[in-house]
Each structure stands twice: as C-alpha cells, then as structure tokens.
Amino acid sequence: MRIASWASVVLLTAFCALSSRAADDAELLRDLTAVIALLGLPCGQVVSATRLNDNDHIATCRDGNRYRVFINAEGRVVAQKQ
C-alpha cells in the first residue's frame, strides 16, 4: 500500500512538471511570434523554438520561415532570417 501511494506521488509530480513546461513553451512561442511581428517580418505564428542560449532562440514559423531571435550587444531584440 505504501509503495502504491509513493508511486502515485511520483507520477503526479512528473505530470505537473511536464504541464508546467508545456505552458512555458506555449508562452515562449507566443512571445517569439509577437517579437517577429513587431519587427515587421513575415511569419504568421511561431510553431517551434530551439533555445541556443539565454535570450537566444531559433524560431520556426508556420509559413516555413526561420529566425534567430536574440538580444544584441546594444540590448536590442533582433531577428535574423536563417
């Protein structure tokens, strides 16, 4: 009985951690979509992102465009077409 309750606690913890990460990922995709749109670049919607470093991502758009979105040395957000 003790093992079953321990296993359910472990599974619940893992599920919550994955759900939290998924929410963070969705928020990141929305943020990258907004940044690319504000910079006036064609994208539509970011469907995936790969983290290269802190504040440095490769964003893949629904229309097939890919951008490296990062903060440059002057502190400005930049999106470079890949």
Each of the 82 residues of the chain gets a pLDDT tens digit; together they read: 444 444 444 444 444 443 334 445 889 999 999 999 999 999 999 999 999 988 899 999 999 999 999 999 998 999 999 9
Q: What is the pLDDT of residue 54?
A: 87
How far apart are alpha carbons 63 and 47 in whole angstroms?
A: 9
Let me know: does 63 contact 70? Beta carbons within 8 Å.
Answer: no
Q: Which domain holds residue 64?
A: 2-81
Q: How many domains does the chain have?
A: 1
Q: What is the pLDDT of residue 55?
A: 87
Q: What is the pLDDT of residue 24?
A: 59
How far from 58 is each of 4, 18, 32, 39, 48, CA to CA, in Å?
Answer: 42, 22, 9, 15, 8
Amino acid, res. 73: A
Query: What is the CA angle 69-73-77, rounded to 5?
Result: 30
Q: What is the pLDDT of residue 12?
A: 44
